[in-house]
Structure 1
């Protein structure tokens, strides 16, 4: 049996709010995939593959400087393919009405792999794998707080300011800028490059995001407990 990415068919509280989900092209693509009995797990796996390849393309800008510009473009395209797969897997699963106890694994694990690959790859591009690792850990903390809160009984908290979409949008914009802008436009400071500064920003704002989610989840759990006591 195919597996959905949400055991309860993606009810509102457990679905990330994505404006593109309500657009005509997104629904047309989802309908096309549903008509062909596309596997939600296969779409998730394809998205993870795109994330891994994006990370390699980003790292490749440092390994093969002569090919840096096309590699930056390739990384941006692969990141967007990863996000498209993230959008389609849930829509297809819900559209086909398939479910499984392992749906949550397919919902979460490929995202964590993709995030880590992209941010570590950007760290290599920046000349500082340590910055990539720091950003990866901060990104993982945002997901950890959300999933832990949901397991404790709170609604899924997708608030930012540096959730998955914002992280990937920033890396995509940076990649396109590095691919298209003259080199002298790309100078940041004598110490750090633009990719390094992007990683610092992601780390700082993802840490803030994790903290906001933690506080919001704690408040939601306290409110639910107080409501239960009054009932």
Structure 2
């Protein structure tokens, strides 16, 4: 029996299209772990596209940014369907816990560092990745302490990818005012600050829950 008590709540999991894709995947030889690996590959592509976009302009930059945004969303789709194939289709394996967490950390690192490199601000990319890791650590720390998983924001995984994707697409309009990277730079700062606040919020909630439990 798979423990679903600490599963991330996602509205998209209840949609008809997600169920249909899950049924199709369940009819193939693709495993949940392979879908998780595909998510890391998508994240690597997004990070590389961001990095490459930093050194070009015009249509080349626009195409790379659109590619990066699309691959960020593909990463999220892989995160959705690896779990659905494992749980809803009953194809999870004994090592599913590893593949549920490890690819997410790698994907965060690749995307956020690639974004930082594209802006010639690698330290900012590292800071964003570190904050993302810290939020995940606090969630798992709570679970290890016997508490429910805390997926609270304001900058949980889906919020981070929504911000990155939205800012990337919005930055396509920068040539209208001869801009180059300002929107993504601001978004990365917002992500660092917002994810830091998320980590602080989860830490406070964890300590309060532990004290209340006595």
When normalised by structure 1's length, the TM-score is 0.86
Distance in structure 1 (CA, Å) of the matches to 2:103 and 2:204:
26
| 1:219 paired to 2:208 | yes
| Secondary structure of 2:54's aligned partner | helix
| Among 144, 154, 164, the residue aligned to 1:171 | 164
Question: In structure 2, what is the equivalent of residue 23 of structure 1?
Answer: 15
User: Which residues in structure 2 correspond to 1:160-199 (within 5 Å)?
Assistant: 160-179=153-172, 181-185=173-177, 187=179, 193-199=182-188
Distance in structure 2 (CA, Å) of the matches to 1:89 and 1:218:
32
Count how many residue pairs are aligned between Structure 1 and Structure 2: 213
Which stretch of structure 1 is more off in the superposition, 125-134 or 165-174?
Answer: 125-134
Question: In structure 2, what is the equivalent of residue 146 of structure 1?
Answer: 139
Contact kept in structure 1, 2:22 and 2:89, CA below 8 Å: no
| 1:201 paired to 2:194 | no
| 1:42 paired to 2:34 | yes
Distance in structure 1 (CA, Å) of the matches to 2:178 and 2:31:
42
| 1:64 paired to 2:64 | no
| Cα drift, residue 62 of structure 1 | 1.1
| Secondary structure of 2:88's aligned partner | helix
Contact kept in structure 1, 2:46 and 2:69, CA below 8 Å: yes
Distance in structure 2 (CA, Å) of the matches to 1:22 and 1:98:
18
| 1:127 paired to 2:120 | yes
Distance in structure 1 (CA, Å) of the matches to 2:74 and 2:165:
11
Contact kept in structure 2, 1:79 and 1:168, CA below 8 Å: yes
Say which one has the larger Rg: 1
Contact kept in structure 2, 1:131 and 1:196, CA below 8 Å: no
Contact kept in structure 2, 1:186 and 1:194, CA below 8 Å: no
1:161/1:43 CA distance change after superposition, 3 Å:
same
Contact kept in structure 2, 1:47 and 1:83, CA below 8 Å: yes
| 1:157 paired to 2:146 | no
| Secondary structure of 1:161's aligned partner | coil
Q: CA RMSD in A?
A: 1.8
Distance in structure 1 (CA, Å) of the matches to 2:174 and 2:190:
23
- 1:43-90 CA-partner distances (Å, limit 9, x unpaired): 000011001110000111013335110000000110110000000000
Contact kept in structure 2, 1:38 and 1:92, CA below 8 Å: no
Unaligned 5+ runs, structure 1: 1-7, 227-231
Contact kept in structure 1, 2:32 and 2:86, CA below 8 Å: yes
